[in-house]
Amino acid sequence: MAPDARPAPKQWLMGAEAFERRMPHHDGVRALWETKWREPCRRAVYPFHDGAFEDFEPVFLDLIAGDVNDGNSPAFSRAFIPRAQLLERAGDKAAAQGDEKGRKQASEFYLRAACLLRIARFPYLTGFPDVSNPAKWEAWELQKTIYIKAGALWSPSPLSEVMIPHSAAKGRDRDAIPTYVRVPPTAGNEKCPAVILLTGLDGYRPDNTARSEEFLSRGWGAVIFEIPGTADCPADSADPSSPDRLLDSVFAWMTADGRFDMSRIMCWGLSSGGYYAVRAAHTHRDKLAGVVAHGAGTHHFFGREWLARADGHEYPFQLTPALAMKHGYGDDVEAYLEGAQKKFSLLETGILGMPSTRLLLVNGVHDGLMPIEDSILLFEYGSPKEARFFTGALHMGYPMANSSVYPWMEQVMNSTK
């Protein structure tokens, strides 16, 4: 066994019963809607934030009636598009009024449409090295188009889409990083702190409206882009070091841009983005005032023992095929199960032994996607860490988690003044 290898625990902290259990929502689209997604949709919480129940219920009833159970099928993705296009037209009509009321209504219509298209492209999508699913890519392109329409209306801090030059690109990396940027209105007069938001396996740039507003309300800018192996990210998903080059290019652009206070930059990684946040806290510790790794998988997450049951946990669809493609293994799930831990584990590759910037680890103790053991593990290596774990909560520790994250970020930002 390698010096930095760590075998899977004999019993996971989520408990043997929860680990072995296959959740009922995996039994088809009816079960998914009725046992997992209907109530979050009513409350407009993840993954239905920005959305409206009245838009989704008829779509899911049609999917159930049509017995469309494959989330990766064209029939699933295309079922959401007509309603999204109807909402886009309603938004165009409202925006044409030209007054504040019309702009507000238009933004709401556009966001509802974008939310429909988010679910249309679930559970996973990548364009690297090739488009993984043409029907989902169609929904993704439409989602971005409509979301940009909404963002243009957000005065005084409209959304900007920036193609950041990937100046550190190497090997198979592509040459530009599609990024969403929002800055507070004061950014023209004084440099602003900013948060780099690293998205997840299924949540991408247009899925972070509320977080951006939270940053802006505190006088912080938002710089949002996807992680390797997802959506528009140009980084080589099979290269474990490609995220380091991605951040090198982003930091170079932010410095040259001139609007950002480079002494007060934080990073927040969401779900699969939490892995990259932990990596960044070590590899770019001198450039980051603090990092939040939210729902991070760092070592055991890549192991066969964990993944043997993860397909049946809280992810809405099968998890391992998405993970294999995301990490550059294409459709070869077995190769991913066999080789991913040695290649990507932050423990086995030595990253966790490096010093880090301030790092907050947040998750639910009963997370069935990224084991809580992967956060606890970090306390045994490198610099001291900080954490908030939520007993009984699933992946990401929702709904309690954000109430711990924002005050911590405020404290870090204030400490660098």
Cα dist from 25 to 34, 42, 47, 58, 404, whole Å? 8, 17, 15, 19, 30
Q: Please say if 299 is a catalytic residue.
A: no
CA distance 236 to 229: 7
Q: What is the structure's pLDDT at 2?
A: 47
Q: What is the structure's pLDDT at 399?
A: 87
Tell me which of 299, 313, 327, 395 is the catalytic residue. Answer: 395
Tell me which of 366, 367, 374, 375 is the catalytic residue. Answer: 367
The pLDDT-based confidence of 4 (bands split at 50, 70, 90) is: low
CA distance 266 to 288: 5
pLDDT tens per residue, range 17-56: 999 999 999 999 999 999 999 999 999 999 999 999 999 9
CA distance 322 to 331: 9
The pLDDT-based confidence of 250 (bands split at 50, 70, 90) is: very high
The pLDDT-based confidence of 158 (bands split at 50, 70, 90) is: very high
Tell me which of 271, 272, 345, 356 is the catalytic residue. Answer: 271
CA distance 270 to 182: 18
Q: Please check the confidence at residue 1 and state whether its pLDDT lies above 80.
A: no
Cα dist from 4 to 61, 309, 386, whole Å? 50, 24, 22
CA distance 366 to 251: 35
The mean per-residue pLDDT over the stretch 121-138 comes to: 96
pLDDT tens per residue, range 356-386: 999 999 999 999 999 999 999 999 999 999 9
Q: With the C-alpha atoms ordered 217, 91, 36, 226, is the resulting torsion angle positive or negative?
A: negative
Residue given tokens 């290596």 in the structure block: 381
Contact at 8 Å (CB) between 49 and 209?
A: yes
Q: Please say if 367 is a catalytic residue.
A: yes
pLDDT tens per residue, range 293-302: 999 999 999 9
The mean per-residue pLDDT over the stretch 145-173 comes to: 98
The mean per-residue pLDDT over the stretch 111-136 comes to: 97
Structure tokens belonging to residue 23: 């959740």
Angle between helices 53-65 and 100-121 (to 10 degrees): 30
Residue given tokens 């993704």 in the structure block: 140
pTM > 0.75: yes or no: yes
Q: Please check the confidence at residue 5 and state whether its pLDDT lies above 90.
A: no
Q: Please say if 237 is a catalytic residue.
A: no
Contact at 8 Å (CB) between 140 and 121?
A: yes
The mean per-residue pLDDT over the stretch 263-275 comes to: 98
Q: Please check the confidence at residue 410 and state whether its pLDDT lies above 80.
A: yes
The mean per-residue pLDDT over the stretch 325-352 comes to: 97
Picking from 215, 222, 293, the residue whose alpha carbon sits closest to that of residue 260 is 222
Query: Average pLDDT of the chain?
Result: 96
Q: Please check the confidence at residue 324 and state whether its pLDDT lies above 50.
A: yes
The mean per-residue pLDDT over the stretch 11-15 comes to: 93
The mean per-residue pLDDT over the stretch 244-267 comes to: 98
pLDDT tens per residue, range 199-240: 999 999 999 999 999 999 999 999 999 999 999 999 999 999
